[in-house]
Every structure is written in C-alpha cells, then in structure tokens.
Chain A
C-alpha cells in the first residue's frame, strides 16, 4: 500500500508561473513552473489552483480549482514542470485556460493519495474518460518501468474530448478508444466493452479515472473478472486540502463499517471495492 503522506513529502503552496498554454481539441494543456511540486509528484495526485481574476484585489472566487497532473517534464532553464489539462466548465476554468505565458497563479500540490503500484509485474488495464485520462499516462510509464503489461482505454463523448489518443500508443501495448458518437474507435460507453477488454488483457489490476458512473462500472467489472480495482474520483472539491470536509465519499472501512471519507485527502484514489457507489450522490456527470 501507499505510505501515508507526511509533511516531508507532502504538498507545497507556491506561486506558479505559466510556461505554456495550448488548446488541444476541447482542452487547454497548461504547463506550469511550480518550484518543488514536480519532484513530489506521483501518478494520481493533483494540483489546486486559485482563481484571481482581479489582480491585487481580495479573491472573489474562494473555491480552489483542482486538476490532475498529466505530465512532469524537464524544461530547459526551468527545471521540472507540471502539465495540467483544463476543461472550461465555468468562469474560473475559463480564466485559468486564458492565462498568458508568464502569468502567476497560486498552486498547492501535489495533493491526494496516488495510485498504488503493484510489487510484481502484473497485467494492468487503465481506463480514463475525457480529461480524467490525464493521470493515466504517467501511471502507464511507472507501471511499464516495473515490467507490468499495460493496456490503456481512453473514452470520451467525441473526438474533441479524447485526451492524447495518439500518445496513448506510445504508453501502452494495447490501446482501445471508445467514443460516445463513434467518431473514433468503438462506439458507446466503456462499460459495454470492459468485460472483453479485461478478459483479453487477463487483467490483474484495473486503474480508472473519470466520472463516478464509469468508476462504478469499472469496479463491478473488475470484481466480476477477479481483478483489483483502483478508482480515482472526480468529486467537486472546495479547499482540496482536507480542511473543509466538503467532498464526502461514502466508503466501507477496513473493519467493514460504513464511513465517510474525503475525496481530497483520503482519495482521490480509492479501492473500487471500498466505495459505496450506490450512496455516492451529487457526482458530476
């Protein structure tokens, strides 16, 4: 299991600088120079940013905006950088997506419990929907370094919302693309194709990130197939740091008793068989 987060390896709060921002399909890929954060990155962790649309004024939008860390890369002169994937869903994300190169933004991270990595070289299926496929690419790299077989499934409503499908071919031995409208790859939803994919890969572990109905389907399919599942939730976060108790996730404790966990600090990655999916309400669709 993942060791608990401690202060020494825990999150940092820094002023990040936008190094690059480019639109790819429906998303904005934003590269940040955030001193100290990339070194602490593990796949499945995320970063929380502050919206400050009136520089110098007290903040008007108090909730943080949280993003999966998609890539950590060395960039000449700036050391390691973070890349996040922004989908514009409201004024805060619109502001972040529109930040110019050189703009500054308060950033906290890496936050949350990462994906647990297997000790042995087992067969892994990674499932990501829309921008939530972001953490699966660095996860695929770590798994391959350990000798694991990696099959990647990326899904989206349509081609524009499909994240880095071309790159997926470099990260995995098998790639399945599923779109709702059938514009690329298989048509439909991932849940319909999972049993066949898990059987073909002889999956031992399934990793998934995306909306909760997809994660529930993954957890069910994994259990049916006899595999472990690790699901990364996308609950709406407010403080993103564990302070506010806003992002409640109903889980089953190790003792079998029902509990409420927090998506930001107890997650975002949970074992699929620990989440009480039927009680998880208010999840974003």
Chain B
C-alpha cells in the first residue's frame, strides 16, 4: 500500500516512530525494514549524549512514561555507522534531529541533508523532556517556526522537512500553520505527552492511553488545514488503528510504543494493510 508524502513515495503508510526502533539493527530480526514506509531514527544531536539517569521508562496504565534524555552517539557516529547500515539494507531513512540552539539545528540539517541515503529530516519540536534532555525548549508556535526556518535554510531543496509537533489539541492548528509557512512539507502529530516520572522528573506519556488525544488533534488539524500532509503518531498499535487514522485525514502513521511491547507489531500492520480491507 504505497502513499505519497511530501514528495516521497513510501512503500507503506506505516513508519517506525523516533526513539522506538533502536538503531534499526535491533528491529531487523522481526521485520524486513525495507517494507517500512520509513524508519525514523531516534533524535540525533550534534554531540554524543549519555542520556538521563535510570529508570528511564516506567509503566503507566496502558502506557509508558519515558525520560530517556536523547541517548545517542552524536552526528559523526551516526553518519559513520548507523546510517550506512540502514542504507545498505534499502531502508528509507528519516533522520530525527534535536539541538540546543538554532545553529545546531542548522548544522545538523546541512550535514544530514547532503548525506547519501537520507530521505527526509524530522525536526523534533515536541520533546516532552526537553528541559531534562538539554535541548531547545519549544513552547510556542513561533519557536517552532523559528527552528523550521533555520533548518529549511540549510537543507537541500529535495530533502523534505517533517515537523514533529505536540499532540496538544489547543495549539496544534496554530503550530502546524506556523511550521508549514516556515517551510515544513509535512507535520507529525504528535509526540509523547508531557508527564512526570514517579520521582517528578520531566517525561512523556506514550502508548494506547494517548491514542484518543492523537486522534482528536489529527481530526481538528485535518478539518482546519485539509491540504496539510499529516503523519499521525501517538498510541497507534493495531491495523484497525492505522485505518482509523488514515480515515481521519492522516497520510501516514508512526508506530512507537507498540513496538516496545511487541517487536513484530509493524510487520503485522504492513501485511494487514496489504491484504483486503476487512
């Protein structure tokens, strides 16, 4: 089931959400990664990040609260090892980026935009633990627009920019309008919802618990901006969920927490969508 998104033809409307597919290698035993719409990497920062203290994820009813804190080995390591591994296997790669300054976002965009095999950039504008993770805290739509402008300026024209927004229904339309005007080709709605770890640290709630929140945001956004390409993300766990989000106006979906519970989830979704609709 092919879909067109931001000028790209994707093999499937199902993408792996940022931060839930490891480096790709860990998912490969359960899924032919080349069947994915795209693999969205965990957010890559310019410099290596050790991430936050453990525990980093805890169970909540029908969800997980996470405060991973951008654990990654930095841009150089990603370009030298993780990206080539994915590209060699024919995986369509969307690189999620996060930075502490507009300059860092621009650097990341420039370096990644010219790296062979990068299909698109996803700008993480909605990390629920941004303060704890030490990246730019995007609170207002105009902050998001500023980041998108900076990235768009340094990103080659042929590389689409996806802006990942909060799934906050109060601000989602305004945020989407701002980032689309600033040069984003599509919006991803949304991220884990701001929540607290049991000890009070900033974290994000994801999983089936937030699916109705995601759906509300997608419905309102599609109603307000019917032409905006939307990628739905947040609580999607079954083939029926995928169909309901596509019906609500999303062009594609991202699946994250469901993979942590069952690493074969996405393989079953892709196969299910290829079959006849029930």
Q: Which residues of A are in contact with B by a Cβ distance under 8 Å?
A: 7, 10-13, 50, 58-64, 106, 108, 235-236, 238-239, 241-248, 250, 258-260, 265, 281-282
B30: chain A residues at CB < 8 Å are 13, 241
Given known A-B contacts A243-B259, A260-B50, A62 and B68 have beta carbons under 8 A apart: no
Of B27, B64, B73, B264, the contact of A62 (CB 8 Å cutoff): B64
- The answer, yes or no, to whether B227 is at the interface (CB within 8 Å) is no
Asked if A63 contacts B237 (CB within 8 A), the reply is no
Q: Which residues of B contact A244 (CB under 8 A)?
A: 19-20, 22, 56-57, 66, 68, 260
B: number of interface residues (CB 8 Å): 40
Taking A62-B261, A106-B262, A246-B56 as given, write out 18 further A-B residue pairs in contact, using a Cβ cutoff of 8 Å, ordered by the A residue number.
Answer: A7-B28, A62-B63, A62-B64, A62-B257, A62-B260, A63-B59, A64-B261, A242-B26, A243-B21, A243-B27, A243-B259, A244-B20, A244-B22, A245-B71, A246-B66, A250-B50, A260-B71, A281-B53
Separation of A54 and B134 alpha carbons in the complex (Å): 39
- Which of A235, A244, A258 has the most chain B CB within a 10 Å cutoff? A244
Give the residues in chain B near A235, CB-CB below 8 Å: 54
Residues of chain B in range 21-56 having any CB-CB distance to chain A below 8 Å: 21-23, 25-30, 42, 50-51, 53-56
CA distance A10 to B261 in the complex (A): 18
Chain B residues whose C-beta falls within 8 Å of the C-beta of A7 in the assembled complex: 28-29
Summarize A's interface: helix, strand, loop or mixed: loop
Q: A63-B59, A235-B54 are in contact. Are A242 and B22 (CB under 8 A)?
A: yes
Which residues in A have their C-beta under 8 angstroms from that of B19?
244-245
How far is B73's CA from A87's CA once the two chains are assembled, in angstroms?
36
Residues of B within 8 A of A281 (CB): 53-54
In the complex where A238-B64, A243-B22 touch, is A248 in contact with B51 (Cβ < 8 A)?
A: yes
Closest partner residue, chain B, to A238 (CB atom)? B57
What are 9 pairs between A and B in contact, CB < 8 Å?
A: A50-B262, A64-B260, A64-B261, A106-B262, A242-B23, A245-B56, A246-B56, A248-B71, A260-B51
- B132 interface residue (CB < 8 Å to A): no
The answer for the CA separation of A182 and B68 in the assembled complex, in Å, is 41
Given A61-B59, A63-B59, A248:B54 Cβ within 8 A: yes
User: In the complex the two chains form, what is the Cα distance from A239 to B261 in whole Å?
Assistant: 6
Q: Which residues of A contact B29 (CB under 8 A)?
A: 7, 10-12
Contact between chains at A282 and B262 (CB < 8 Å)? no
Interface: B141 (CB within 8 A): no
- Interface bits B232-249 vs A (CB < 8 Å: 1, else 0): 000001100000000000
**Number of A-B contacts defined by CB within 8 Å:** 111
| B263 within 8 A of partner (CB) | yes
**CB-CB < 8 A to B51: which residues of A?**
245, 248, 260
Residue of B nearest to A258 (CB): B50
**Is B62 positioned at the interface, with any CB of A under 8 Å from its CB?**
yes
User: Is the pair A236, B54 in contact by a Cβ cutoff of 8 Å?
Assistant: yes
Q: Mark B7-29, 1 if CB is under 8 A from A, else 0.
A: 00000000000011111011111
> Contact between B71 and A239 (Cβ–Cβ < 8 Å)?
no
Q: B-side binding surface: helix, strand, loop or mixed?
A: loop
- Contacting pair A248 B56 (CB below 8 A): yes
Decide if A59 touches B261 in the complex (CB within 8 Å).
yes
Pair A246/B22 contact, Cβ less than 8 Å: no
Query: Which 6 pairs of residues, A with B, have the shortest CB-CB distance?
Result: A242-B26, A239-B260, A282-B54, A10-B29, A246-B57, A238-B57
From A10, A238, A247, A258, residue with most partner B Cβ within 10 Å: A238
Closest residue of chain A to B25 (Cβ to Cβ) is A242
B208 at the interface (CB under 8 A from A): yes
> Out of B55, B208, B262, which one reaches A236, CB within 8 Å?
B55
How close is A126's CB to chain B, nearest CB, in angstroms?
Answer: 27
B61 in the interface, Cβ–Cβ < 8 Å?
yes
Q: Specify the chain A residue showing the minimal Cβ separation from B264.
A: A13
Chain A's closest residue to B60 (CB) is A62
**Are B263 and A243 interface neighbours, CB within 8 A?**
yes
Measured CA separation A245–B50 after assembly (Å) = 10
Contacts of B66 in A (CB 8 A): 244, 246
Complex: how many Å from CA A248 to CA B70? 12
From A10, A245, A248, A260, B42 is in contact (CB under 8 Å) with A245
B207 lies within 8 A of chain A by Cβ? yes
Q: Give A61 to B262 CA distance when docked, in angstroms.
A: 12
CA distance A129 to B51 in the complex (A): 30
B259 CB → nearest A CB, Å = 6
